[in-house]
Structure 1
Amino acid sequence: MSSAEKSTPAARRGPAPATGIARHMGGQPTEKSMDFKGSSRRLFARMRPEKARVVAVLLLGLVSVALTVVGPKVLGHATDLIFSGVVGAQMPGGTTRDQALERLRHDGHGNVADVLSGVDFTPGQGIDFDAVGTVLLWVLLIYVFASLFSLVQGRIITTAIQRTVFRLRQDVEEKLGRLPLSYFDKQQRGEVLSRATNDIDNVAQTLQQTLSQIMASVLTIVGVLAMMFWISWLLALVALVTVPVSVVVATAVGKRAQPQFVAQWASTGKLNAHIEEMYTGHSLVKVFGRQQESAEIFRRENEELYRAGFKAQFISGLIQPAMMFIGNLNYVLVAVVGGLRVASGSLSIGDVQAFIQYSRQFSQPLTQVASMANLVQSGVASAERVFELLDADEQSAEPDDARALGDVRGEVSFEKVSFRYEADKPLIEDLSLTVRPGQTVAIVGPTGAGKTTLVNLLMRFYEVGGGRIALDGVDIASLSREELRSHIGMVLQDTWLFGGTIAENIAYGAEGASTERIVAAAKATHVDRFVRTLPDGYDTVIDDEGSNVSVGEKQLITIARAFLAEPEILILDEATSSVDTRTEVLIQQAMAQLRSGRTSFVIAHRLSTIRDADVILVMEAGRIVEQGDHESLLAAGGAYARLYEAQFAQPVAEGA
């Protein structure tokens, strides 16, 4: 729909700098604060179909973490064996352990005796390398199996995450198909694309990089904490002293970082929208010499993204060094208290060694979880933008008892139809019109009169605000949109082609059409004459912008597409506006053949193209002010006559 036809100022199309000067003059809009908890819960709720895989991941993670946690304790036993062997080799044989300790105290080495009281040694015996080897073998097996379980866990969680994101992309694709035309009129194309691509990709990366790690970290914290209390409840309490400090620091920094991540992804969407507009309309930008202005807008948007991204990453990046500092404090406390416990004989050196490893293992997952805060916040910010798209108001639901039309004659009735884009700005009021089967109805009038709006209501791109539109006496609101549109062919002023061959583009509206039918339609609409000049003919591949064919040739291809579809009703919205005069004559002849026996609506500004229409409607401000054929309307000397005179009087005067 032409934006000029609408009264809503929200629509933005083409390369006009809607993202730049106009917005910057009005000030930067304030970003809505983010519901982090709600969006996080909603994101994880999307993994419910993968419940079995998630449970398997938890079980595998539990086993893997349990083995990893047991490792330092077993390794500490090897240290005790080595130390016991070293001590035993230095003690005279033939005595018991208690006798050796008592002799040390008698010789004035009471502190040494206290330390060795926690060591299980045998005087006169050195290191038992067989026992040490057995322990080390067990340690090796423990870590090998822990790694294997972790590998399997990673594969399963990857599958679960990718399947979840796959469904999310599907939901977004289906949602885009259910959104009304008004949504896209109010959203920049680049912004919508950014949500459907960049934001979903960011969600996928966030889940992939953080979910398994967070699960492993939580299980590690629980397992390590249990082992720490088993070895020494006192040292465990010392290690826990720094946890509240870590939580406070991570929470405080996270709250400051989250709004910056929201701003970062919002700025990404705006920058993408501007780039998409500029590159789509790059020819127009150059024609009007707006490259400098476009570059300046890009610089501003890029600067916004840089500032938001820098603040988000810098603030969130403070968490990891802060947590590392707190972890080092924890390490010092454990080492000091553990040393004192060894000196008193309450703990063995192997136990202290294991505990120091556990203290590292305890602080490391806390640091990892905290350092992933930036990824989590960024991913949830993107998730919220995707959920906003999924929550957008959809077009009205299809009727449960939708009817099928069968054979369509093509009678169209507008019965007291009313419509407005905005509640306080009426556009069409109490419009009634009946078009008999096979008639060609031309709709003319000044820009903004409601011409395109009229046919968009017939296509149910928008729903009527009052009255009804009937096709063969059946209210189109009682039909499914697919059923209704299957009987209507539409050729717009703005052509649309997709990446593929010319033959595929022509056959787009008639799935399974034979080559003979495609060529016949091309010949009837004069596409064949220029296709034959191309090296690959109908197999010539064109991109979605159709950059390797001219504007007029693109329009001819879209007309051939409608011709091949053979609809019962035709809508031609300035369909010949982009072709030259000679081609226009040829197209008019082809359209006369195509319209034969079909109801046709022709929106035209060039009145020379609609002289042979059965009925000409003259619209002004959403109302039909005149109707009749070309001759009768000219004779009436009304609005149509004034339009006709405005178009042809000046050329005639210049020719005289």
Structure 2
Amino acid sequence: MNDSMTYEEKMPDELAEKCRSSLRDGEKIHITAATDLSENLRFEERWLVVTDQRLLRLNPDSTNGISSVDLKDIKSASVEELVGAGRLNVEMGNEQVEFMQYTPSQRKKFAQIARSIDQLIKEKPMEFGDKVDKTKCETCGRLLPEVNGVCALCTDRLAMLKRILGYMKPFKRKAIWMVAISLLFTVAELGPPFIMKHILDDVLGIESQVAAGDKLSLLYWLVGAFAAIRLLSYVLEIFRGRLSVWLGGQVTVAIRDDLYNNLVHLGLRFYNKRQVGSLISRVTNDAESMMYFLVDGVPYMLSNALLLIGILILLFMTSWELTLLVLIPVPLMIMGGWFFWGRLMRVFRTKYHRWGKLVGLTSEMLASVRVMKAFAQEKREMRRFDTNNEGVFRGDYESEKETFIFFGTLSMLTSTGLILVWYFGGMDIIEGTFTLGSLMMFISYLWMLYEPLQWFGELNTWSSRAMSGAEKIFEIIDTPIETDDQENPVAMPNIKGEVVFKDAFFAYEPGKPVLKDINLEVASGEMIGLVGKSGAGKSTLINLLCRFYDVDEGVLTIDGVNIKDISLEDLRSQIGMVLQESFFFSGTIAENIRYGRPKAPLEEIMTAARAANAHDFICAKPDGYDTQVGENGRELSGGERQRIAIARAIIHNPRILILDEATSSVDTHTEKLIQEAIANLIKGRTTFAIAHRLSTLRSADRLVVLDEGKMAEVGSHAELMKKKGHFYRMVETQHATTAILGVGGGKNDPNKEKKS
């Protein structure tokens, strides 16, 4: 509506005019947004308008239907989550006033709107934050198959086909060769029926004008020409097939590369909303369906289009009357093809969605097989699999059923054209206006004409599968990378490790902040212990430091530079992590240790392993540093995995080190070895350590106690114990818990006898 707009959803014209007429002089609109619930929690449309002076609520179904609140009367705005709904509240005086309701799908949008209203009230610059999730198609208004998904009905298939074919540009010369070969193949295919006409009329025909002595010679030439044309067609088809397979494969490789490249660089927010199996299905099944279309569909589309044109020209030259009869079923075939296109797209989309769920379920089961067996849930997992497997069967059945119906209909229509040709062509032969050879040539061309038209149905099948897969693939390729380098990132090859959080706020979901008003200055080489209950925000603070996410408000700087301005490669190449459950890649121990520095020599790998107290147990293994660790390190014990993870961090030589429960779930002897390895690792490095076992953080320079996302206390271990605040209570609780766990409870427990 105006240049001051922060967020705009397009209003219906009549409602927009009503809104404009209700504005005060000089009043500027910042936000227009629709909700899907009425004041009585009914599914009705309402509109929120935020101006620089007021909040307006508009009811499209009412004549007046406009209510408003002045911003000067509002202290703050907030969202409230209800069961199956949400509410935008405004604080007026000491009272919370309900202003607008919405369904859970609108939660993120209204959380950002509430934040923007607060910024407007406090006269701060309005920032709408992240892109709002789309649940409806902006063109047709239909619900999307998934959040931020693609509307299949509004997809420009021609544009998508052009985009797919655009990947052929690097192979333009081979593509031109394929077009030329297809043209020659088409010309060759048109020859045999013409030769057959002359054999029937000039050699075998009773009324032939050729002298009897010349017929045998003519037969030799005609049959020889027939054989030469078939041989030429055979050779051309081989070359065309090889070219199409090569081009289709190269295009698929390029698309898979783009897809994988984006998957690697997408932020964690993207993966938080996706199932791994579904993404694997896109890289495999969906990309494969596109490859089949390029290898089989595009070449046939090209050659059959040329064949169709050539046949129509020859048919009209032979008999325009019969040709018009032949074309009677064609409009019905084309209309049927377009009718079935939409149905095929829907059933194939459902089919691939169900395949994605089945792959995801299988991937999840294989990853959690130990948990499944520990809880004896094999039967339950089989029931889940059977349900999804049955869904895949229904999807396959529906898609194949629609395909057979389509081809059966086409077969019936082609039979109609053939019946008409035999009847009227036969009458012309009886009347002497048409020859048998001409009729047989006509019928041969007729079959060749109907074949491309029947193939149009096959093209529907190929293209439906390909476009359904392409939608999903390009949706990921087009997803913007959430945390990426700025236009001119600051190069920082030698980070010192000074970290400052200033007025930092962060929320995974708008309206639910996980970190609130974090102010922390960490000197280079200082060790900070992060303490707090589960969910207090410890891991989130680490995620911000690694820039897996960006702060919503406030600033995070490293060596005085805003983390958003630092080159991601420079930042992450100088951060090392040792996690509670470190991930291991399939390969050898040496390959896993030098993962951060792939070219590190064996001497440095061994030095890092010694510093991590890992060298001895590695050498004790039959293959030493060449020992295969198995999938995710399953061939190693917990303590061995942790020490290799520490060696991996040491050889990486980071300036900022993150230890997330690095000594949990190991025995006392192993913990001592790991503690010694960590002591070697943290020397001269800025370190952030998370540990629930509070005694392991005694050596930290300072402890930061987080409580419900806020910094509750900061100080050394001794200072916080003297203070007897949050940290002191946590230590006492942990000691009490340890004492309780120390009570036996077995048949020899003396306490048990006293109770009885």
TM-score, structure 1 normalization: 0.87
Q: Which residue number in structure 2 is paired with residue 78 of structure 1?
A: 199
Provide structure 2 residue ranges, at least 5 long, that are not aligned to the other structure. 1-103, 106-142, 744-756
Paired letter, 1:292:
K
DSSP-derived class of the 1:46 partner = helix
Preserved contact between residue 421 and residue 427 of structure 1 (Cα < 8 Å): yes
Q: How far apart, in 2, do the equivalents of 1:235 and 1:412 lie?
A: 85
Match for residue 495 of structure 1 among 554, 575, 582: 582
Q: Which residue number in structure 1 is paired with residue 180 of structure 2?
A: 59
Q: Which residue number in structure 2 is paired with residue 211 of structure 1?
A: 298
Q: Cα 1:541–1:40, aligned 2, differ >3 Å: closer, same or farther?
A: farther
Q: Cα 1:297–1:490, aligned 2, differ >3 Å: closer, same or farther?
A: same
DSSP-derived class of the 2:354 partner = helix
Provide structure 1 residue ranges, at least 5 long, that are not aligned to the other structure. 1-8, 11-27, 88-115
Quick check: 1:41 aligned with 2:159?
yes
* Aligned 1:127-206 pairs, distance under 5 A: 128-206=215-293
Q: Which residue number in structure 1 is paired with residue 137 of structure 2?
A: none
Q: How far apart, in 2, do the equivalents of 1:37 and 1:154 lie?
A: 30
Q: How far apart, in 2, do the equivalents of 1:264 and 1:160 lie?
A: 27
DSSP-derived class of the 1:47 partner = helix
Offset at residue 262 of structure 1 (A): 0.5
Q: Cα 1:266–1:654, aligned 2, differ >3 Å: closer, same or farther?
A: closer
Offset at residue 239 of structure 1 (A): 0.9
Q: How far apart, in 2, do the equivalents of 1:233 and 1:655 lie?
A: 100
Q: Which runs of 4+ in 1 moved over 6 A?
A: none
Quick check: 1:576 aligned with 2:663?
yes
Q: Which residue number in structure 1 is paired with residue 497 of structure 2?
A: 410
Offset at residue 55 of structure 1 (A): 3.2
Offset at residue 246 of structure 1 (A): 1.3
Q: Cα 1:638–1:39, aligned 2, differ >3 Å: closer, same or farther?
A: farther
Offset at residue 37 of structure 1 (A): 5.6
Paired letter, 1:225:
L
DSSP-derived class of the 2:204 partner = helix
Offset at residue 628 of structure 1 (A): 0.8
* Equivalent pairs, count: 597
1:102-128 residue CA offsets vs partner (Å, 9 max, x unmatched): xxxxxxxxxxxxxx5xx5355xx4662
Q: Which residue number in structure 1 is paired with residue 558 of structure 2?
A: 471
1:362-386 residue CA offsets vs partner (Å, 9 max, x unmatched): 1122112213422321222111111
Offset at residue 149 of structure 1 (A): 2.3
Q: Which residue number in structure 1 is paired with residue 27 of structure 2?
A: none
Q: Which residue number in structure 2 is paired with residue 237 of structure 1?
A: 324
Preserved contact between residue 33 and residue 259 of structure 1 (Cα < 8 Å): no
Q: Cα 1:654–1:297, aligned 2, differ >3 Å: closer, same or farther?
A: closer
Q: How far apart, in 2, do the equivalents of 1:215 and 1:481 lie?
A: 46
Q: How far apart, in 2, do the equivalents of 1:208 and 1:650 lie?
A: 66
Quick check: 1:590 aligned with 2:677?
yes
Preserved contact between residue 334 and residue 356 of structure 1 (Cα < 8 Å): yes
Quick check: 1:282 aligned with 2:369?
yes
Q: Which residue number in structure 2 is paired with residue 330 of structure 1?
A: 417
Preserved contact between residue 217 and residue 369 of structure 1 (Cα < 8 Å): no
Match for residue 376 of structure 1 among 457, 463, 475: 463
Paired letter, 2:710:
R
Q: Cα 1:141–1:406, aligned 2, differ >3 Å: closer, same or farther?
A: closer
DSSP-derived class of the 2:595 partner = helix
Q: How far apart, in 2, do the equivalents of 1:504 and 1:252 lie?
A: 56
CA RMSD of aligned residues (A): 2.1
Preserved contact between residue 436 and residue 599 of structure 1 (Cα < 8 Å): yes
Q: How far apart, in 1, do the equivalents of 2:204 and 2:214 lie?
A: 8
Query: Which has the higher Rg, Structure 1 or Structure 2?
Result: 1
Q: Which residue number in structure 1 is paired with residue 359 of structure 2?
A: 272
* Aligned 1:463-542 pairs, distance under 5 A: 463-542=550-629
Offset at residue 53 of structure 1 (A): 3.2
Preserved contact between residue 403 and residue 480 of structure 1 (Cα < 8 Å): yes
Match for residue 647 of structure 1 among 734, 739, 742: 734
Q: Cα 1:555–1:654, aligned 2, differ >3 Å: closer, same or farther?
A: closer
Q: Could you say which structure has the higher helix fraction?
A: 1
Offset at residue 83 of structure 1 (A): 2.9
Q: How far apart, in 2, do the equivalents of 1:415 and 1:584 lie?
A: 35
Q: How far apart, in 2, do the equivalents of 1:655 and 1:150 lie?
A: 80
* Aligned 1:550-565 pairs, distance under 5 A: 550-565=637-652
Q: How far apart, in 2, do the equivalents of 1:300 and 1:654 lie?
A: 43
TM-score, structure 2 normalization: 0.76
Paired letter, 2:165:
M
Offset at residue 51 of structure 1 (A): 4.0
DSSP-derived class of the 2:593 partner = helix
Offset at residue 211 of structure 1 (A): 1.7
Offset at residue 612 of structure 1 (A): 1.1
Higher relative contact order (CA 8 A, sep 6+): 1
Offset at residue 41 of structure 1 (A): 3.1
Match for residue 120 of structure 1 among 205, 209, 224: 209
Q: Cα 1:138–1:650, aligned 2, differ >3 Å: closer, same or farther?
A: closer
Q: Cα 1:586–1:37, aligned 2, differ >3 Å: closer, same or farther?
A: closer
Q: How far apart, in 2, do the equivalents of 1:39 and 1:442 lie?
A: 55
1:226-276 residue CA offsets vs partner (Å, 9 max, x unmatched): 111111111111111111121232233332222111010011111111111
Preserved contact between residue 502 and residue 538 of structure 1 (Cα < 8 Å): yes
Paired letter, 1:234:
E
Q: Cα 1:433–1:451, aligned 2, differ >3 Å: closer, same or farther?
A: same
Q: Which region of structure 1 is more displaced relative to structure 2, 634-643 or 73-82?
A: 73-82
Q: How far apart, in 2, do the equivalents of 1:397 and 1:640 lie?
A: 37
Offset at residue 413 of structure 1 (A): 0.9
Offset at residue 547 of structure 1 (A): 1.8
Match for residue 259 of structure 1 among 324, 343, 346: 346
Offset at residue 655 of structure 1 (A): 5.6
Q: How far apart, in 2, do the equivalents of 1:370 and 1:495 lie?
A: 51
Q: Cα 1:523–1:477, aligned 2, differ >3 Å: closer, same or farther?
A: same
Q: How far apart, in 2, do the equivalents of 1:550 and 1:38 lie?
A: 54
Q: Which residue number in structure 2 is paired with residue 98 of structure 1?
A: none
Offset at residue 418 of structure 1 (A): 1.2
Q: How far apart, in 1, do the equivalents of 2:392 and 2:228 lie?
A: 50
Preserved contact between residue 493 and residue 570 of structure 2 (Cα < 8 Å): no
Preserved contact between residue 331 and residue 356 of structure 1 (Cα < 8 Å): yes
1:320-355 residue CA offsets vs partner (Å, 9 max, x unmatched): 222122212211211111111112222222111111
Preserved contact between residue 642 and residue 674 of structure 2 (Cα < 8 Å): no
Q: Could you say which structure has the higher strand fraction?
A: 2
Offset at residue 570 of structure 1 (A): 0.4
Offset at residue 47 of structure 1 (A): 2.0
DSSP-derived class of the 1:545 partner = helix
Q: Which region of structure 1 is more displaced relative to structure 2, 176-185 or 37-46?
A: 37-46
1:128-155 residue CA offsets vs partner (Å, 9 max, x unmatched): 2001211221222222223322322222
Quick check: 1:318 aligned with 2:439?
no
DSSP-derived class of the 1:58 partner = helix
Q: Cα 1:261–1:460, aligned 2, differ >3 Å: closer, same or farther?
A: same
Q: Cα 1:314–1:589, aligned 2, differ >3 Å: closer, same or farther?
A: same
Q: How far apart, in 2, do the equivalents of 1:391 and 1:303 lie?
A: 33
DSSP-derived class of the 2:253 partner = helix
Offset at residue 282 of structure 1 (A): 0.7
Paired letter, 2:674:
I
Q: How far apart, in 2, do the equivalents of 1:314 and 1:228 lie?
A: 34
Q: How far apart, in 2, do the equivalents of 1:352 and 1:486 lie?
A: 77
1:418-453 residue CA offsets vs partner (Å, 9 max, x unmatched): 111122112212211011111110001001111011
Preserved contact between residue 277 and residue 357 of structure 2 (Cα < 8 Å): yes
Match for residue 350 of structure 1 among 425, 437, 440: 437
* Aligned 1:284-299 pairs, distance under 5 A: 284-299=371-386
Paired letter, 2:209:
D
